[in-house]
Amino acid sequence: MRIAMGQLASGTDTAANLHAIDGFAARAAAGGAALVAFPEYATYEKKKIDATFPTVAQPLDGKVGTELARIAAHHGIALVAGMVEASPDPARAYNTLVAFGQDGSQLAAYRKVHLFDAQGFRESDFVAPAPATEPVTFDVDGVRFGLMTCYDLRFPEQAQALSDAGSQVLLVCSSWVPGELKTKQWRTLLAARAIENSLYVAGVCQSPPVSVGHSLLAGPMGEVVAELGTVPDVLAADLSPAAVAEVRKHFPTHRQRRIR
């Protein structure tokens, strides 16, 4: 299977962000990708989360979600993107990843579990945590994908739960805040989650200055299969479910785990 990572430089102009998503989805589909993934807050983003996020929040079937579904169906490609979803609390939105199939049908929606209250930021001031923590997965062409968002990457038990739910690929859609050693940590943690669970991990990130860029696909042995730099771009890479099965045969940690 071929998947693509669409590294954006999203801002507050939702129409412009959707136009960029449309263009990258077209390129990914033309290159033979079955799925294209975009970052956290793909449709609305700022250097720091503030009170505007709840004001732009929409239901999943609102104008933003409807346009993402249209893009997926128009190009015949499965699509995952981060959006600001309305929650029952008017002062706080959900930070949501929504996945659409190649026909535009909604496959899954994942609300971020671990909010970024770190490094001087307080995402939880304007974003509500997911009310449920069960793993969220969906299938495309017989491959199971698990959804995680940014800061979730620092919690290995979440990746493990997605692996236990049958995921062969983790999509970590992110806006990884820059700082000391942050790019190194991003690359290291993506590889670590891949090695720990013997699966592929696709980390899809926003570009600087909001984020660090370096979207990459790590293989089930932790190897870097493909990686972008810091500019907005779309990159396709091939993955093999058979490779996941082969690595798990040689390192059967799923069966050997004694602490749960």
pLDDT for the residue numbered 254: 85
Residue 259: pLDDT band (50, 70, 90) is: confident
Provide the residue range defining the domain that includes 96: 2-256
pLDDT of residue 78: 98
Annotated catalytic residue, options 45, 150, 173, 205: 150
Is-contact 117 150, C-beta < 8 A? no
CB 189 within 8 A of CB 22: no
Interior angle at CA 30, CA 201 and CA 79, nearest 5:
45
241, two tokens: 């479910």
- What's the pTM? 0.97
Number of domains in the chain: 1
Active-site residue flag, 205: no
Span 170-212, pLDDT tens digits = 999 999 999 999 999 999 999 999 999 999 999 999 999 999 9
Annotated catalytic residue within 85, 112, 123, 205: 112
- Write the CATH number for 66: 3.60.110.10
d(CA 46, CA 240): 36
CA distance linking residue 111 with residue 237, whole number of Å: 26
For range 67-81, the mean pLDDT:
98
Would you say residue 159 has pLDDT above 80?
yes
User: Per-residue confidence at 260, pLDDT binned at 50, 70, 90?
Assistant: confident
| C-alpha dist (Å) from residue 101 to 36, 79, 104 | 10, 7, 5
Residue 49 has what pLDDT? 97
Has 67 been annotated as catalytic?
A: no
In the predicted model, what is the mean pLDDT of residues 128-157? 97
- Give the residue-averaged pLDDT of 110-138: 97
Tokens of 115: 């909010």
Strands 233-238 and 35-37: unpaired
Residue that the structure tokens 């071929």 belong to: 2
Marked catalytic residue, from 40, 45, 85, 123: 40
